[in-house]
């Protein structure tokens, strides 16, 4: 029997060596069996072979992709007792040589559980088998009407899909289809998302720690309900003080903050390197003059106080801070829609950011007017938001020991000039995880945070943006190469390439004093690995939660 066994093994080796990895794998629905998804039932599986498929680009964000060849598998599933119908779309490279042996689960944005083609395209182009889901509702970043039933009651089933359940579903489905198509399990599986997708990445790590090897979570909306309510804070401050500060005036204060704090990292490069080191106070500018719409304006005490309170972030009438705000030097144009006419009259317009309050809390109330929102109403809505919806949408559980013990790695980065989600929300979470799990050094073994000075929400801004953080995460997961820096790049106003090595938190970047300021080699990371904890007296209300 031994010679026969040897011949069979030899034949198998030769057969494997001569397999044509460039041969198209049939893309047929009959080739797939229903994936096993806990708590769900598969409704249907359809497939379509796509060749030379093009995806249009998104200006400044996503380059167009051409000639993609893949098996498009669309699985519809439902959760018994919910009457939902959820799409999980999976794209599989048509030939083994186009597949990198890995699976990528992709996140959503805004009120969309998944981005579908916009997220699947880049993943596929990089060699991944990838999945995305619609969560059972329309894909619309700015509309949450799907959260309500026809009778205006909350659709808790779809909210659960959005908050947690569909995240696991798409991983179960995607990994199963990948294994069936290629005849082998993916060697490694990753999550990739920004904003809502970043929140989802943390949620996967916290709630489904065994499903994924590595999570790339960018600019995460960790406390999504609180983030949406914080959008209303600037309008409330202006109403309470009776003083409207226009976008032009906010931008002037931002420029003054940049003038004062840009040099703190050793170089004038149009970026505040460490916002926490910036002690800019708008109240020191009272009496100075600026120009908006051709009108000369003098900074008043109430105007400066508005800017100060807005940057301090939501604070209770008793002075307890409950949520961070945007850093000095960051534009408030996302939150504030106030103009100044040639006569110097300021008008506060609706910024259109009351989706959560109007749709979910007030059930699409036609009577809700953000310009008339009182402090009492705001804090009532704030409490209702967090009490009723935080449990299903928040992803800020500081006990991430299950993810650590499963061997997972979380790489997160956040722009310090994020004009949608304050970067300090991610910093505060990281600090709470350190307190929970043994300090910075222990947490760095599985969770590393990088701040990107000058970068806005997910991209853009004056700062250097990480070039390929997913590749860095792969090196950490697959080779044990824990990153101390992230390679980043942008172009300045003169269209010159600017490179930086973003520092692992809590270290910050500092110019060495010699060399080209546009080159990463002229900068170094300084500071200790342990961030000094604030005293008990200085800790905020949220820190104590």
Is residue 155 domain-shared with residue 53, that is, in the same domain? yes
Q: Which CATH number do you get for residue 46?
A: 3.40.50
Q: Is the CB of residue 182 less than 8 Å from the CB of residue 95?
A: no
Taking the C-alpha atoms of residue 439 and residue 427, their distance in angstroms, rounded to an integer, is 14
pLDDT over threshold 80, residue 7? no
pLDDT over threshold 80, residue 543? no
Q: Which residues pair with 339 in a beta bridge?
A: 347
Q: Is 137 a catalytic residue?
A: no
166, 195, 230, 325: the active-site residue:
195
- Tell me what pLDDT residue 353 has: 67
Taking the C-alpha atoms of residue 500 and residue 519, their distance in angstroms, rounded to an integer, is 7
Is position 163 within any domain? Answer: yes
- Tell me what pLDDT residue 366 has: 65
Encode pLDDT of 9-31 as tens digits: 434 443 444 456 889 999 999 99
pLDDT over threshold 80, residue 531? no
- Tell me what pLDDT residue 255 has: 97
Encode pLDDT of 293-330 as tens digits: 888 999 999 999 999 999 999 998 888 899 999 999 99
pLDDT-derived band at 338, boundaries 50, 70, 90 = confident
Among 467, 441, 249, smallest CA distance to 340 is for 249
Is position 470 within any domain? Answer: no
pLDDT over threshold 50, residue 542? no
pLDDT over threshold 60, residue 4? no
Is position 190 within any domain? Answer: yes
- Tell me what pLDDT residue 540 has: 40
Angle CA(346)–CA(462)–CA(218) in degrees, nearest 5? Answer: 100
Is position 459 within any domain? Answer: no
What are the φ and ψ backbone dihedral angles of 94, each rounded to 5 degrees?
-65, -30
- Average of per-residue pLDDT values in the chain: 91
Is residue 67 domain-shared with residue 191, that is, in the same domain? yes
pLDDT over threshold 70, residue 35? yes
**Residue 134 CB coordination number (10 Å):** 22
Is position 122 within any domain? Answer: yes
Is residue 290 domain-shared with residue 352, that is, in the same domain? yes
Helix 233-241 with 375-393: angle, nearest 10 deg? 170
Taking the C-alpha atoms of residue 130 and residue 185, their distance in angstroms, rounded to an integer, is 13
Taking the C-alpha atoms of residue 225 and residue 391, their distance in angstroms, rounded to an integer, is 10
Q: Tokens 């506060």 label which residue?
A: 348
Give the lowest-confidence range in 181-185, 218-222, 262-266, 359-363: 359-363
Is residue 324 domain-shared with residue 399, that is, in the same domain? no
Encode pLDDT of 43-56 as tens digits: 999 999 999 998 88
Is position 159 within any domain? Answer: yes
pLDDT over threshold 90, residue 453? yes
How large is the average pLDDT for residues 535-544? 38
Among 82, 123, 80, smallest CA distance to 99 is for 123
Q: Is the CB of residue 358 less than 8 Å from the CB of residue 453?
A: no
pTM as predicted: 0.92
Encode pLDDT of 81-108 as tens digits: 999 999 999 999 999 999 999 999 999 9
Taking the C-alpha atoms of residue 108 and residue 174, their distance in angstroms, rounded to an integer, is 16
DSSP 520: G
Is position 496 within any domain? Answer: no
**Domain boundary at 452, 472, 502, which?**
452
Taking the CA of residue 409 as centre, how many other CA atoms within 13 Å lie in the half-sphere pointing to its CB?
23
pLDDT over threshold 70, residue 538? no
Q: Is 79 a catalytic residue?
A: no
Residue ranges making up the domain that contains 153: 33-223+392-412+421-452
Taking the C-alpha atoms of residue 535 and residue 147, their distance in angstroms, rounded to an integer, is 42
**Residue 415 CB coordination number (10 Å):** 27
Encode pLDDT of 368-423 as tens digits: 777 788 899 899 999 999 999 999 999 999 999 999 999 999 999 999 999 999 99
How large is the average pLDDT for residues 171-176? 98
Encode pLDDT of 198-207 as tens digits: 999 999 999 9
> What is the bridge-based pairing of β-strands 41-55 and 65-78?
antiparallel
Encode pLDDT of 433-452 as tens digits: 999 999 999 999 999 999 99
Taking the C-alpha atoms of residue 431 and residue 95, their distance in angstroms, rounded to an integer, is 45
Is residue 204 domain-shared with residue 233, that is, in the same domain? no
- Tell me what pLDDT residue 367 has: 67
Is residue 209 domain-shared with residue 303, that is, in the same domain? no
Taking the C-alpha atoms of residue 78 and residue 158, their distance in angstroms, rounded to an integer, is 11
Encode pLDDT of 55-75 as tens digits: 887 766 677 788 899 999 999
Taking the C-alpha atoms of residue 352 and residue 334, their distance in angstroms, rounded to an integer, is 10
- Tell me what pLDDT residue 544 has: 34
Among 133, 125, 207, smallest CA distance to 164 is for 207
246, 457, 501, 509: the active-site residue:
457
Q: Is 418 a catalytic residue?
A: yes
Is residue 127 domain-shared with residue 235, that is, in the same domain? no
pLDDT-derived band at 340, boundaries 50, 70, 90 = confident
- Tell me what pLDDT residue 383 has: 92
- Tell me what pLDDT residue 18 has: 42
Is position 154 within any domain? Answer: yes
pLDDT over threshold 60, residue 290? yes
Tokens, residue 246: 């226009």
Is residue 112 domain-shared with residue 41, that is, in the same domain? yes
Encode pLDDT of 462-504 as tens digits: 999 999 999 999 999 999 999 999 999 999 988 999 999 999 9
Q: Is the peptide bond before 506 cis (omega within 30 degrees of 0)?
A: yes
How many domains does the chain contain in total?
Answer: 2
Among 299, 302, 297, 327, smallest CA distance to 312 is for 327
Encode pLDDT of 211-270 as tens digits: 999 999 999 999 999 999 999 999 999 999 999 999 999 999 999 999 999 999 999 999
Question: What totals of helices (H) and strands (E) does the chain contain, helices first?
Answer: 16, 18
418, 423, 501, 509: the active-site residue:
418
Is residue 337 domain-shared with residue 356, that is, in the same domain? yes
Is residue 209 domain-shared with residue 148, that is, in the same domain? yes
Is residue 294 domain-shared with residue 362, that is, in the same domain? yes
Is residue 51 domain-shared with residue 65, that is, in the same domain? yes
- Tell me what pLDDT residue 534 has: 45
């Amino acid at each position: 029997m031994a010679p026969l066994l040897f011949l069979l093994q030899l034949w198998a080796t030769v057969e494997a060596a001569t397999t044509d990895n460039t041969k198209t794998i049939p893309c047929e629905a009959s080739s797939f069996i229903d994936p096993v998804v806990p708590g769900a039932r598969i409704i249907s599986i359809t497939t379509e072979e796509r060749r030379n498929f093009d995806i249009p680009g998104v200006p400044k964000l996503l380059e167009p992709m051409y000639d993609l060849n893949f098996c498009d598998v669309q699985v519809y599933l439902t959760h018994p007792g919910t009457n939902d119908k959820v799409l999980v779309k999976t794209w599989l490279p048509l030939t083994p040589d186009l597949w990198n042996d890995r699976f990528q689960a992709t996140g959503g944005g805004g009120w969309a559980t998944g981005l579908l083609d916009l997220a699947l395209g880049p993943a596929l182009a990089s060699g991944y088998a990838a999945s995305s889901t619609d969560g059972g509702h329309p894909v619309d970043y700015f509309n949450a009407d799907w959260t309500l039933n026809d009778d205006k009651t909350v659709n808790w089933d779809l909210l659960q899909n959005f908050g947690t359940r569909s995240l696991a579903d798409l991983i179960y489905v995607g990994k199963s289809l990948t294994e069936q198509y290629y005849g082998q399990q993916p060697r490694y599986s990753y999550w990739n998302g920004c904003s809502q997708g970043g929140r989802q990445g943390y949620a996967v790590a916290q709630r489904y720690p065994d499903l994924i090897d590595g999570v790339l979570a960018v600019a995460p909306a960790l406390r999504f309900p609180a983030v949406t309510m914080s959008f209303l804070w600037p309008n409330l401050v202006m109403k309470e003080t009776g003083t409207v500060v226009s976008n032009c005036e906010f931008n002037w204060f931002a420029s003054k903050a940049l003038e004062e704090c840009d040099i703190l990292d050793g170089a004038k490069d149009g970026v505040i390197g460490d916002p926490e080191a910036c002690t800019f106070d708008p109240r020191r500018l009272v009496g100075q003059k600026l120009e908006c719409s051709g009108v000369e304006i003098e900074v008043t005490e109430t105007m400066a106080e508005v800017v100060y309170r807005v940057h301090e972030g939501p604070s209770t009438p008793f002075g307890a801070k409950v949520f961070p705000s945007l850093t000095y030097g960051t534009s408030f144009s996302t939150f504030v829609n106030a103009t100044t006419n040639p006569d110097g009259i300021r008008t506060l317009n609706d910024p259109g950011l009351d989706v959560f309050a109007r749709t979910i809390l007030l059930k699409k109330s036609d009577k809700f007017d953000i310009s008339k929102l009182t402090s009492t109403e705001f804090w009532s809505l704030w409490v209702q938001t967090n009490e009723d919806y935080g449990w299903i949408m928040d992803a800020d559980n500081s006990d991430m020991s299950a993810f650590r013990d499963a061997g997972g790695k979380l790489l997160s980065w956040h722009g310090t000039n994020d004009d949608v989600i304050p970067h300090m929300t991610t910093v505060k979470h990281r600090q709470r995880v350190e307190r929970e799990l043994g300090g910075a050094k222990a947490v760095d073994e599985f969770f590393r945070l990088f701040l990107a000075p000058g970068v806005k929400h997910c991209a853009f801004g004056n700062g250097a943006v990480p070039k390929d953080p997913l590749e860095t995460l792969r090196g950490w997961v697959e080779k044990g190469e824990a990153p101390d820096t992230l390679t980043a790049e942008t172009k300045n106003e003169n269209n010159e390439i600017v490179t930086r090595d973003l520092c692992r938190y809590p270290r910050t970047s500092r110019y060495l004093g010699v060399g080209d300021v546009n080159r990463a080699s002229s900068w170094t990371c300084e500071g200790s690995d342990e961030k000094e904890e604030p005293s008990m007296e200085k800790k905020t209300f949220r820190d104590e939660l």
